Amino acid sequence: MTESRHLLEIQHLKTYFTTFEGVARAVDDVSFHLDRGEVLGVVGESGCGKSVTAQSIMRLIPEPPGKIVGGHIWFDGMDLTTLQPSAMRRIRGDRIAMIFQEPMTSLNPVYTIGDQIAEMFQLHRGMGRREAWRHAVAMLEKVQIPAPHKRASEYPHQLSGGMRQRAMIAMALACDPEILIADEPTTALDVTVQAQILDLMLQLKEDFQTAVMMITHDLGVIAEIAQRVVVMYAGKVVEQAATLPLFEDPKHPYTRGLLRSIPKLGERSKKGRLRLEEIPGMVPGLLDLPPGCRFEPRCPHSMAVCREREPELQDLGSGRLVRCFLYGT
Amino acid sequence: MTTYILRRLIQGVVVLLAVSMICFIIFRYLGDPVLTMAGKYATQQEIEEVRRAFGLDQPTHVQYGRFIWNALHGNFGKSYVSRVPALGLILERFPATFELAFTAMLIALTLGVGLGVLVSLNPSSWPSRLVMAGSLGGISIPTFLTGVLLIMIFGVYMGILPPFGRGETVQIGFWRTGLLTADGLKHLVLPATTLAMYQLAVLLRLTRAGMREVLAEEYIKTAWAKGLPPGKVIVKHALRNVLIPVVTMAGLQFGELIAFSIVTETIFQWPGMGNLLLQSIYETDQPVIVTYIMLAAFLIITINMVVDILYAVLNPKIRYD
């Protein structure tokens, strides 16, 4: 396939890490797409490859040990996997921006917030220092930081976690990117601040008409803001669906397990004790994956065929994909 | 910021007072200065006269007060040997030592930081491994050996660089400089390289370790994600953070180089303060020794203060404490 009608289309992406113990297939044949203006949730446990997928899109995989060994990432007629570094730099930050999990450490401690945001305008818009600074202050205002003039000349350590994440969002949205990749942007924040940041992101997404790829392990976050969800497990996409159908009728046993492990108020088990269900077992190490389905060792519906070969991703219609033998071969 | 500087100033004065007290004790009680001045064959009466003439019969605190008072006026007494003011004798030698230390520091800082950054970017390449092995040598080979080896190779076998002395110098006001003549510069190469070697290795290892740590930081990932070119990410975002400890280290080293480059100065017969100190120790020339210690303490404290202020400028977290 060549050009894509989607804003971003990932096809059969493979990102491997070479370690002393062997090759870790962190992202193994992952395909999905992102459309203009939508919020796509990418969910999975730690180590399922969701962050590596995001870093592959940005071409921020540390190489060595990592390497994109196969697949394509189509964006505006370009395959990002083969783009020249200089061309990739023009896209990074300007057209595809990213925010990270740790607002405490993602800002450079020796520069002011204003300087760090202004750098975006200087770099991608060729503005002078003063003009860039003015735009930076305006961005801080847009992310609802009070007294933006004063805050702009402060250093990261003078700001709270929530404020820093706002500053990170201001930096990411500075150049009005078409895609915003948010890698667990609320994980490190207090619950009340989490909600504020999510609200802000949703609002800014409307204002800036940005497509958002929201990476998280928190299904609550997904329910709140995503229209579509990609569920990943051990480097593979196991299920893909619109948010509502996914929550109402999860197909893949892993997705079901994930949904059951969300605590709900007022729910009690038969014994009358409040008990949270968990998915038994551990995520397999990427170096010694089971030969068949990667979820098989933890799956309550495990069958003989699951141990023999890996199920394909099947199309169940209306944008619903699932990788499981329960739905045919 | 003002309180920060003020606090540092007060600390500096306290340290200087402590050093002065030690100096005073050396001066006054390590051997009887009266005997040294009056001479071996003086009569008891002559000795008493000298004692009174120099105020050495007065109580200790009065003597110490006078010592401080004189020191504040730049009067540290006269050299027993050459009978000229000790401070003048040392200050005359100061430019030579300063130029040597400054050049050595310049070499150590540029090469140390530069190579440290390069090595940190390609830690497993063989040139990097070679540099790191070499830096171990730089740390463990003593200065006198480096100096002698350099003299042997470049001074004796190849004969391309002068192995001793300062060469041709030019007097500008009170400052006698060797930096303005080709001959002076040539003479500077070997001793400055010798002196720089250890400091270079230390700065290189410090820079490399710092860079390795900082390059793994989240904010470096942010810098890449912004679309910045590698040069900007490495110099503006990474190195700027690494410089905080490096500048502190370099400051300490510089003070040390000025005050204690005695071995190198001796090997290369460099007419600096270190050489003078060694000579004065041989001749028990106490006023010169004491003056030297006071001056060294003053220089090191001043440099450290400058470094502390620089540290605050580089590190915003310190500035607001």
Q: E strands along chain A, which residues? A: 8-19, 22-34, 39-43, 66-75, 78-79, 96-99, 179-183, 211-216, 228-233, 236-242, 314-317, 320-322
Structural domain boundaries enclosing A108: 96-176
Q: Exposed (0-12), middle (13-18) or buried (19+): which is A184, by Cβ within 10 Å?
A: buried
Q: Locate B124 and state its tokens.
A: 């497993």
Reduce the DSSP state of residue B151 to 3 states and report it.
Answer: helix
Our count of domains for chain A comes to 1
Residue of A nearest to B226 (CA): A93
Domain residue ranges of chain B, discontinuous segments joined by +: 95-319
d(CA B222, CA B227): 9
Does the residue A110 lie in any domain?
Answer: yes
Question: d(Cα A304, Cα A323) in Å, to the nearest integer?
Answer: 16
Q: What pLDDT shows up at residue A1?
A: 46
Identity of the amino acid at A207: D
Q: What are the chain B neighbours of A106 within 8 Å (beta carbons)?
A: 218-219, 221-222
Is there a domain that residue A140 lies in? yes
- Is the CA virtual torsion B290, B291, B293, B294 positive or negative? positive
Give contacts of B320 with chain A, Cβ < 8 Å.
158
The encoded tokens of residue A127 equal: 């503005």
Using an 8 Å Cβ cutoff, are A286 and A24 in contact?
yes
For residue B260, the model assigns a pLDDT of: 77
At A274 the pLDDT is 59
B320 pLDDT above the threshold of 60? no
Residue A71 lies in a domain: no
Packed helices A161-173 and A191-208: angle between N→C axes, nearest 10 degrees: 10
* Of B245, B226, B223, the residue nearest B235 (C-alpha): B223
B9-25 pLDDT, tens digit each: 898 899 989 998 888 88
A291 within domain boundaries:
no
- Over residues B107-141, the pLDDT tens digits come to 999 999 999 999 998 888 899 899 998 898 888 88
Location of structure tokens 């750098």: A119
**Interface confidence (ipTM) of the complex:** 0.86
| Residue A286 falls inside a structural domain | no
Nearest C-alpha neighbor of B280 from the set B16, B63, B55, B77 = B77
- With CA atoms as reference, report the closest residue to B151 among B284, B291, B24, B267: B267
Q: CATH number for B95-319: choose from 3.10.129.10, 3.40.718.10, 1.10.3720.10, 3.30.360.10.
A: 1.10.3720.10
Question: Which tokens go with B131?
Answer: 């540099």
Could you tell me the two tokens for B190? 């070997």
Token pair 């490859």 in the structure block, residue = A49
User: Which H helix or E strand runs over B149?
Assistant: helix B143-150
How many Å apart are CA B263 and CA B261, to the nearest integer? 6
Give which of A60, A90, A91, A110 to mutate to test B binding, by max B Cβ within 10 Å. A110
Q: Is residue A128 part of a domain?
A: yes
Chain A with chain B: Cβ pairs closer than 8 A: 68
Closest Cβ opposite residue A109 in set B227, B229, B317 = B317
> What pLDDT was estimated at residue A265?
65
- Nearest CB to A108 within list B227, B237, B315: B237
Q: What are the backbone angles phi and psi of residue B75, rounded to the nearest 5°? A: -105, 105
The verdict on a CB contact (< 8 Å) between A108 and B241 is yes
Asked whether the beta carbons of residue B223 and residue A93 sit closer than 8 angstroms, the reply is no
Spell B24-44 as b/e; 16+ CB within 10 A means b. Answer: beebbeeeebbeebbeeeeee
pLDDT of the residue at B192: 92
Residues in contact with A26: Cβ distance below 8 Å, sequence separation at least 6, in sequence order: A15, A16, A17, A49, A52, A66, A235, A286
Q: Do B221 and A157 touch (CB under 8 A)?
A: no
In chain B, whose CA is at the least distance from the CA of A153?
A: B316
Q: Give the Cα separation of A84 and B61 in Å (integer).
A: 77
* A95: nearest Cα among A200, A216, A197, A209: A209
The residue in chain B having the minimum alpha-carbon distance to the alpha carbon of residue A58 is: B225
Of A87, A76, A81, the closest CA to residue A3 belongs to A76
Cα of first residue to Cα of last residue in chain B, in angstroms, is 9
Q: Give CA separation, A31 vs A14, A203, A239, A287, in Å.
A: 10, 28, 11, 21
Dist. CA A19–CA B198, nearest whole Å: 36
Whether A123 has its CB under 8 Å from any CB of chain B: the answer is: yes
In a domain? residue A58: no
Tell me whether residue A142 is in a domain. Answer: yes
Interchain proximity B226–A171, CB inside 8 Å: yes
Cβ-Cβ contacts under 8 Å, A107 against chain B = 219, 222
What integer is the mean pLDDT of B151-174?
A: 85
Full pLDDT tens readout for chain A, 329 residues: 455 678 899 989 989 888 888 888 888 888 888 988 899 999 988 878 888 999 999 998 887 788 888 889 998 888 888 888 899 999 998 999 999 888 888 999 999 999 999 999 999 988 889 999 999 999 998 888 889 899 999 999 998 888 888 899 889 888 889 999 998 888 777 888 888 888 888 888 888 888 999 998 888 888 888 889 999 988 888 889 888 888 888 888 888 888 887 776 665 555 555 566 777 777 777 777 778 888 888 888 888 888 888 888 888 887 888 888 887 76
Residue B38, pLDDT above cutoff 80: no
